[in-house]
Amino acid sequence: MERWEIIERNVLFVVAAGLLGWSAWLFFFKTNPERIVGGAFLLLCAYWALWQALYEDKLGSAELPSRGERLMVAVWLWGRRFLLGGISVVMGLGAWYFGQSAQVPGDFGVISLFGFLSLMAGWVAVFGAGRSKSMGDDRSVHKERMRRYK
């Protein structure tokens, strides 16, 4: 490993520890209801930092994944599928609901928006995101990840 990679990894560990501590403080010591949403968001950020520190650079390698890596991938994949799949279903139901009572042309814009958001959330729930900002490599990166973690 190069020196900058070691520094990056150590910084990510410190960031993850700080985020986990902040999340624990929100869950155990704050009394307002927003603490659950904030704590859950910080847990996701800590999870991301740990993933980046430990496993992100191993996607293209021939090294077999460890149990910890497989566990983190499974938690991430199923969490993403449930969360974004649920969002996709809710947006699809919103499009259906507005489609039942659509009478003015403005309603079709809302229906289209809900339908588009439903499709996009469903796409990301199934394939995730690739390496670029377009959807062009989502499926190929998904296949690469599935080959590694079979």
pLDDT tens-digit map of 23-67? 999 989 888 888 888 888 899 899 989 988 888 777 677 788 889
CB atoms within 10 A of CB 121: 20
Q: How confident is the model at residue 131 (pLDDT cuts 50, 70, 90)?
A: low
56, containing H or E segment? none
Residue range 72-98: mean pLDDT, rounded = 90
Q: How confident is the model at residue 101 (pLDDT cuts 50, 70, 90)?
A: confident
Q: Which residues contact 142 (CB under 8 A, 6 or more apart)?
A: 126, 127, 128, 130
Answer whether residue 74 shows pLDDT above 80: yes
72 with 50: CB under 8 angstroms? yes
Considering the entire predicted model, what is its pTM? 0.71
65 with 149: CB under 8 angstroms? yes
Q: Is 23 exposed, middle or buried (0-12, 13-18, 19+ CB in 10 A)?
A: buried
pLDDT (0 to 100) of residue 140: 83
Any idea where the domains of the chain sit in the sequence? 1-54, 63-150
130 with 140: CB under 8 angstroms? yes
113 with 130: CB under 8 angstroms? no
Answer whether residue 117 shows pLDDT above 90: yes
Residue range 89-95: mean pLDDT, rounded = 94
Q: Which residues contact 25 (CB under 8 A, 6 or more apart)?
A: none
